[in-house]
Amino acid sequence: MIGCFVTGSDSRVGNTLVCTGLLHALAAHHRRVVGMKPVAAGVVPWGEDWASDDVIALRAASTVTAAPELDNPVLLMEPLPPHIGAARCGVRIDIQAIAQSYQALAAQADAVVVDGTGGFHAPLTDTFTDADLAQSLDLPVVLVVGLRPGCLNHALLTAEAVRARGLRLAGWVANRIDPDLLAPDEHVEFLRARLGAPLLADVPYDEFPEPRTLVFDLPSSWL
């Protein structure tokens, strides 16, 4: 079974876009692929229920229909950092329960793509972060770097933090989210030389990106 944990160099750098693109790319090689959003915050109507935009996108890109308690164990109504949103509505975020949901989901799939909350140290509770969750799941990490001012420092710090947790940085994605960034190609080449992990995709700027069009150079072990 193939699994990866997708994190970002910062918040709002396109983690879910990359996750859905990865699901489409993996589906070309594997019959059963599914996305997981362990903790989602902020909801919209979804059928007769509620769901987050991220979860809806992941479900649309998955070929496995999973129970909500597996592909999105924690759904918080307000678009707030999880530790704040959970406290406001009296929800307890249990990392061990999330890990159990992942294991149950993995038993149903050939590949699972886990969409993190945002940055690697984004808080989930007062004591746990996305880094703790990634470590609990023991998954290789894919780093999404949103190309904008400050991204070089953020990307290098995140890669260092991933490895400090004993996790493998399986690859990274350059997401050109800022059309006004000067010298974007030079940013990519700098990170390509220093991150110590393969560049899996270079996503051009698009105001309305389509996940199916993303081109990935997947690791051979994922094929």
Confirm if 147 and 177 have CB atoms less than 8 A apart.
yes
Is 37 part of the annotated catalytic residue set? yes
The partner residues of 113 in beta bridges, in order of sequence, read 4, 35
Report which secondary-structure segment, H or E, holds 9: none
Choose, from 2, 26, 37, 140, the residue flagged as catalytic: 37
Burial 69-103 (b: 16+ CB within 10 A, else e): ebbbbbbbeeeebbbebbeeeeeebebeebbebbe
Confirm if 26 and 111 have CB atoms less than 8 A apart.
yes
Q: Report residue 102 as tokens.
A: 């992942």
Total Cβ atoms within 10 A of residue 219: 16
Report which secondary-structure segment, H or E, holds 155: helix 151-164
Q: State the catalytic residues.
A: 37
